[in-house]
Each structure stands twice: as C-alpha cells, then as structure tokens.
Amino acid sequence: MQELKVEFPEGILGFGEYREYIPVPISEENDAIISLQCVENEELEFIAMNPFFLLEEYEPVLTQGDYEKLGTTSEEELSYYVICVVKEPFGKSTVNLKCPLVFNSKNRQGLQVILDSNDYSMRVSLEELTKKGGA
C-alpha cells in the first residue's frame, strides 16, 4: 500500500503532526467521496469530497508557492478534495471550500491550501450546495 500513500509535509490544519494518509474511495464507481486514513494514527480519518461534484463552478486558485510545494506546474496532475464534517441529518453536514486538500497524483505530495478568495467559506452545508444546484 506504500504507493497509495499521500504525504502532507505541512500536515493538515489542526493535525500538523500527522503527515501520511491513504485516500480510500467510499464507492467503487468513483472517487467523489474518499476516506483519508492517517497512517501514523489509525484512529484519525477524514471524509473528503471532490468539490467539483458539489459545486460545478468551484475555481480554486493556487499560488506559485503552492505549485512549488506540490512539485508541479501542471494543473492536470492535481486532484482537489474538501474536508466534510458529517452531521445528522446528512444534509446538515458541512464542507470546507476555503481550505481544500490538493494532491499531486505523480509524486503523491499533498497540501492543504487556504484560498485567497472571499468566494468560499469554511462551513458550507450540503443542503446549501444542493439548493444552488450542486451535489
């Protein structure tokens, strides 16, 4: 499973001491929702969603420094996910569109970025996205 691992050299906000994760798709059909399982702490796991499935017009803009940290200049090598806080009922669950996780599929490097845009919030409910025509 070593080849599946994604390394976050800077960690994930609030969990900086944990740097290695294995992304596991929830469904065999697609990777719209993944479980991001921590290698160093088996009790730590994040549910993450592909933001483009939730909000078609999602347009994250990375800085030159972000691309350097990810080891690429090619947008085609990158995958984006947003962390979901799961709540009951599920529609009340929220996603963090402001701070997406970005994976480089070639070198398996990951980075959580804070977008320099006021267009996105850290807590957007799935209900709200559904009303906008997403999800």
What domains appear along the chain, each with residue ranges and CATH number? 2-131 (2.30.290.10)
d(Cα 108, Cα 128) in Å, to the nearest integer? 32
d(Cα 36, Cα 109) in Å, to the nearest integer? 14
pLDDT band at residue 134 under the 50/70/90 scheme:
low
Tokens of 61: 């803009």
Tokens of 122: 């850290």
d(Cα 107, Cα 15) in Å, to the nearest integer? 22
- Tens of pLDDT, residue by residue over 36-93, are 999 999 999 999 999 999 998 999 999 999 999 999 999 999 999 999 999 998 888 9
Q: Is-contact 14 3, C-beta < 8 A?
A: no
102, pLDDT greater than 50: yes
pLDDT of residue 1: 42
Helix (H, G, I), strand (E, B) or coil at 90: helix
Q: Nearest Cα to 111, choosing from 39, 23, 19?
A: 19
Query: Global pTM?
Result: 0.89
